[in-house]
A and B are shown apart, each in its own frame.
Chain A
Amino acid sequence: MSTAMKTAGFSSSRRLLLWSGIVALCAWVIVPIYLVAIGALGGRTGVYQWPKTGLPTGLSIEPFLLFLKTEGVVQSFLNSLGAAGITVTLSILLGAPAGYALARYTFPGKDGYRLLVLLTRAFPLAILALPLTVSFIRLGLYDTIVGVGLIHTVLALPFAALVTQGIFLGVPRELEEAAWVFGCTRIQAFFKVVVPLALPGIVATAVFAFVISWNEVFAASVLTVRNRTLTAYLLTVLSESPMHYRFAGGLLLILPSVIFIFAVRRYLFAIWGISSK
């Protein structure tokens, strides 16, 4: 009896510790976003309020709407979405097959390819944008969203290949071979056996590709003049913007990603849940 109670007490104190850790880590993520949102909605008076309470007082959507009405903000937001869309599509279409080849086959030149992929990732994209400027002007890609999407794909594609390789390595090849034995063609086996198991990882890869493009500042600013992405636009106006405009810009950069990750969460976590059972 007393042993059972002791065990129960021990396990409940462990659960308390577990949940305080979880709550602390959640607060660590959420509180800063909450604070910048207050900064974005508090306007000029909010910025100079001292000392701050951290409570949502004196908030209004007006300062944020005023920021959105600033010339160039909405257009640069749409440009960022377009560039990210191109990046996601290209990097998955080109990267996932390569990741599969790396995971499943041994072939001469494999190490060379891996090195190429790693080398790509080991180089700052920012500088590559410079020599590309000249070629892009010649090809009519300079100052276009397609041009930005292409160079963002250079950055996202190696991730896509590396991450999908890890994902395909985690799908037991015996399952695929079993499908062949039961009469599936290679392509059927791939789409019926491998893809369902690899899907959460491939979605995660697409999230990475989106995020890489959405986050990228330098190449976007080098390769565009009028068709700026949101990050390039904000970087150009950063030093002359008042504080509450910077916070509004930060919030505008954050909002789509929160929505985006919320939209794919079931897709990501449903299969993560199954695989952890």
Chain B
Amino acid sequence: MTNDRPWLPYALILPSVAFLALLFVVPLVQTVWLALSENGAPSLANIRTMAGDINFARSVQNTFLLALAVIPVQIAIALAMGTLVSKIGAGRETILWIWTIPLGISDLAAGMVWLAILQNTGYLNSLLFGLGLIERQTAWLTYQTPVALFIGIAIAEIWRGTAIVMVIIVAGLNQVPKEFREAAEVFGAGPWTRFWRITLPLIRPALQSALILRTVLAFEVFAVVYALGGRNFPVLVGEAYAWQNQNQNYGVAAAYAVLIMVISLAATLVYLKIVKVDPERLP
């Protein structure tokens, strides 16, 4: 675009820069200092306390496994939803509305929803009992059933978090001109080829946004875990929460925060490199 007014982009970003400087950069620096200091002097004591904590390794492992289990499923379901809904005419709006409902559901509420299903006298046990698969009420959400608890939390996260990905991907799919796919069809490309060679490359910006958004959120998972399993399933933010509120140790909590930031930042940079967006090739 011709740019005869070089100050214009700066005027457009200035309000948000000022806002973020005051309410993000300042507290961020304070937090990093909090993590890497002790009594006003630089120190790695908080990092050592964090790494030596009994729940540290488990919380790192749990958080990574949860992200790895949840994100690919969410992207796949969202792409499936986008593809299915593009093939129908009547009823399309209603179906999209139903699929976007979890978009507004809090992670705390999602935890409570799946608690209703997975608790001892809940619907899962009732169903399994009705099918004759279990003989008495079974507990799924205790520290003695880590695999079941993991699956329960993952399902609740997938249930809640897919709608955000779906909205971004459907918005991206809607911007792909039909002519592209029709042209590919005329030249004999099957549905599978059209999806991989035409649709997927064209929705890269949407895919990139969705991946960054979901991955960062996945490493901040907390309330759904707390509602379903309490501290039976330690995750990174949950540990930071416990160090702040129960142990009143803001330094170690800040150390967890810095760790989560480093992981999220690394993931974001990887997505920016892998899923390249070339503005010249967009439709």
* Chain A residues packing against B (C-beta within 8 Å): 18, 21-22, 25-26, 28-30, 32-33, 35-36, 38-39, 47-54, 90, 93-95, 97-98, 100-102, 104-107, 109-110, 113, 116-124, 126-128, 130-132, 135, 150-151, 153-154, 157-159, 161-163, 166-167, 169-170, 173, 177, 200-201, 204, 207-208, 210-211, 214-215, 217-218, 222, 231, 234-235, 238-239, 243, 246-247, 249-251, 253-254, 256-258, 260-262, 265-266, 268-269, 272-273, 275-277
Contact = CB atoms under 8 A, between A and B. Distances in A.
Contacts of A266: 93
A170 B175 contact: yes
B97 interface: yes
B204 to A, nearest CB: 10
Interface stretch (B19-27, B44-52, B145-153): B19-27
A252 to B, nearest CB: 8
Interface of B is mostly: helix
28 contacts: A47-B121, A102-B13, A107-B9, A113-B17, A124-B237, A124-B261, A127-B253, A128-B28, A131-B30, A154-B24, A215-B223, A231-B108, A243-B116, A243-B119, A246-B112, A247-B112, A247-B115, A247-B116, A254-B105, A257-B101, A257-B104, A257-B106, A260-B104, A261-B97, A265-B100, A272-B171, A273-B92, A276-B173
Contact of A25 (B77, B170, B212, B272): B77
A242 B207 CA distance: 41
Interface residues of B, number: 106
B70 interface: no
A262 B260 CA distance: 35
A130 B31 contact: yes
A48 to B, nearest CB: 6
Contact of A261 (B100, B111, B115, B268): B100
B212 A121 contact: yes
Contacts of B27: 128, 130-132, 135
Contact of A218 (B88, B105, B111, B241): B241
A238 B225 CA distance: 13
Interface stretch (B125-133, B182-190, B193-201): B125-133
A247 to B, nearest CB: 5
Contacts of B237: 124, 126, 218
B16 A254 contact: no
B106 A124 contact: no
A120 B20 contact: yes
B209 A52 contact: no
B3 A253 contact: no
Contacts, number: 303
Contacts of A36: 112-113, 116
A28 B117 CA distance: 13
A104 B12 CA distance: 11
Contact of A207 (B1, B12, B104, B119): B104
B9 A130 contact: no
B23 A154 contact: yes
B137 interface: yes
B260 to A, nearest CB: 5
The 10 closest A-B pairs by CB, nearest first: A257-B104, A250-B112, A127-B257, A253-B109, A122-B264, A101-B12, A131-B30, A105-B9, A52-B126, A51-B126
B250 A130 contact: yes
Nearest to B34: A131
A116 B254 CA distance: 20
A277 B92 CA distance: 13
B254 A127 contact: yes
A153 B110 CA distance: 23
B16 A157 contact: yes
B282 A217 contact: no
Interface in B68-121: 77, 80-81, 84-88, 92-93, 95-109, 111-117, 119, 121
A207 to B, nearest CB: 7
Nearest to B236: A124
B126 A54 contact: yes
Contact of A49 (B93, B98, B115, B121): B121
Given A107-B6, A261-B101, 11 more contacts: A25-B80, A32-B113, A35-B113, A122-B264, A123-B260, A123-B264, A126-B257, A130-B31, A135-B27, A161-B16, A177-B1
Given A51-B125, A254-B104, A169 B205 contact: yes
A247 B87 CA distance: 37
A38 B116 CA distance: 9
Nearest to B85: A22
Given A120-B24, A128-B28, A215-B106, A33 B101 contact: yes
